[in-house]
Amino acid sequence: MTLAGKSAIITGSNSGIGLGIARELAKAGADVVLNSFTDREEDHALAASIAEEFGVGARYIKADMSKGAECRALIETAGGCDILVNNAGIQHVAPIDEFPVEKWDAIIAINMNSAFHTMAAALPGMRARGWGRIVNIASAHGLTASPFKAAYIAAKHGVVGMSKTVALETAQEPITCNAICPGYVLTPLVEAQIPDTMREYNMSREEVVKNVMLTRQPSKEFATVEQLGGTTVFLCSDAAAQITGTTISVDGGWTAL
């Protein structure tokens, strides 16, 4: 599988799943644009290290995905892209009658509205070049619900629905649009919660993972960022040219329950 000559923009990619996807796309030969809302030396160094490791073009562009104009500017500054991965996301947990309005607005903006803006900005360039792949990182919570996550679940269901619409609007073009729905993924953020939870419940690492974190993930294993990157690369392959408007769950059986 080679993506040499293709350019990819991955939103929210200076850590976690986005970074894992960027690395797998670069490994497959794509030039990559990393993004987040910060503009630190280490953000640019991360892009440089990917360029060196995989021998591809890689750069970092700061853009705040909570702001529509910055979402669109990211695509413009990058000069468009062949592959767009909407991955930036945040979470907040609270019952709906106590859910802070500013958290609701931020989650809807970053997790859902940003995909509207980046897709709208990227599609004309994909059409002009005659090829495009859009991969939206939703969640098992784009297909199911849990209490206390109203904004996240609304946004992720929205992303799944929006992906179907864009797939229909591009169905007769060499462009596809799909959503990946991960279950629990072992990212640095999740890893960092394990020691505290071990202390809180007086449990071993294995018990915390199986009995606390992965209660709804039948495999009792985390998905990995490499697996999500590999799924993204597959969706960019010729084998996936007729896969559009659908979801791929990478959730260890969560949504089969």
- Just list the catalytic residues: 152
Task: Determine the Cα–Cα distance for residues 73 and 114; give it in Å rounded to an integer.
Answer: 12
Query: Mask of contacts with ligand NAD, 26-65, x by CB under 6 A?
Result: ----------xx--------------------------xx
Note whether 134 binds ligand NAD by CB under 6 A: no
The binder of ligand NAD chosen from 75, 85, 89, 229 (CB under 6 A) = 89
Q: Which tokens sit at 137? A: 């990182």
Query: Is the CB of 59 or the CB of 129 nearer to ligand NAD?
Result: 59
Instruction: Provide the minimum distance between the beta carbon of 95 and ligand NAD in the complex, in angstroms, as a whole number.
Output: 20
- Decide if 26 contacts 79 (C-beta within 8 A): no
- Decide if 254 contacts 183 (C-beta within 8 A): yes
Say if strands 247-250 and 132-137 run parallel, antiparallel, or are unpaired: unpaired
Note whether 252 binds ligand NAD by CB under 6 A: no
Query: Is the CB of 4 or the CB of 160 nearer to ligand NAD?
Result: 160
The binder of ligand NAD chosen from 12, 158, 245, 252 (CB under 6 A) = 12
How many chain residues are in contact with ligand NAD, going by CB under 6 A? 26
Say if strands 247-250 and 175-182 run parallel, antiparallel, or are unpaired: parallel
Q: Which tokens sit at 8? A: 């990819």
Task: Determine the Cα–Cα distance for residues 67 and 122; give it in Å rounded to an integer.
Answer: 16
Task: Determine the Cα–Cα distance for residues 170 and 155; give it in Å rounded to an integer.
Answer: 22
Note whether 77 binds ligand NAD by CB under 6 A: no
Q: Which tokens sit at 103? A: 């958290």
Q: How far is CA 87 from CA 19, 112, 129, 199, 217, in A?
A: 10, 10, 23, 31, 21
Task: Determine the Cα–Cα distance for residues 84 and 176; give it in Å rounded to an integer.
Answer: 10
Query: Mask of contacts with ligand NAD, 164-203, x by CB under 6 A?
Result: ------------------x-xx-x-xx-------------
Token pair 């890893």 in the structure block, residue: 191
Query: Is the CB of 28 or the CB of 137 nearer to ligand NAD?
Result: 137
Query: Is the CB of 135 or the CB of 175 nearer to ligand NAD?
Result: 135
Note whether 158 binds ligand NAD by CB under 6 A: no
Instruction: Provide the minimum distance between the beta carbon of 112 and ligand NAD in the complex, in angstroms, as a whole number.
Output: 10
Query: Is the CB of 88 or the CB of 126 nearer to ligand NAD?
Result: 88
DSSP letter, residue 216: T
Site residues, ligand NAD (CB under 6 A): 12-18, 36-37, 64-66, 87-90, 110-111, 137, 139, 182, 184-185, 187, 189-190
